[in-house]
Amino acid sequence: MKNTQRRAAILEQVTLAHGPISAEEIFAILRERFPTLALSTVYRNLERFAADGLIDRETSPDGVFRYSGREGHGHYLVCTQCHSRIRLHECPLSAMEEKLEEETGFSIDRHQLTLYGKCPACKKQEPHN
């Protein structure tokens, strides 16, 4: 894997991002620094990183791929209205996984958990209940 400026910049954005980030979002950010950057380059690198296990890929509820760094496997609580996000620090699943592996014979290698709801600010805005 060669080391190019764009490749490094893409990976940097993933790890810099506050939470899971999409190819388009990275593209928008890096376009300023690299005016000729192609969206396909972003996709190709992200897929590469994910295949090599450098980053994680997940699908957000709107059906878009989002990538996140591996600085600690994280789960999120996201607001369905304003998309604000809070990272959860505990992962209640590690324990459960072992038990499941025994019960089912599967070998589990990853899981995705995301919780959806309304953040305090958005709750206030709609008293239509």
The pair of structure tokens assigned to 122 is 């958005």
Neighbouring-strand partners of residue 85: 78
Residues 52-111 that bind DNA (CB under 7 A): 63-65
Position among 31, 73, 83, 111 found at the interface with its own copies (CB under 8 A): 111
Position among 28, 39, 51, 115 found at the interface with its own copies (CB under 8 A): 115
In the bound state with its own copies, the residue whose beta carbon lies nearer, of 8 and 106, is 106
> Does residue 110 touch its own copies according to CB under 8 A?
yes
As to burial, measured by CB atoms within 10 angstroms (0-12 exposed, 13-18 middle, 19+ buried), residue 9 is middle
Binders of its own copies: how many residues, by CB under 8 A? Answer: 39
Task: Write out the residues near DNA by the rule CB under 7 A.
Answer: 1-7, 22-24, 34, 36-41, 43-45, 47, 63-65
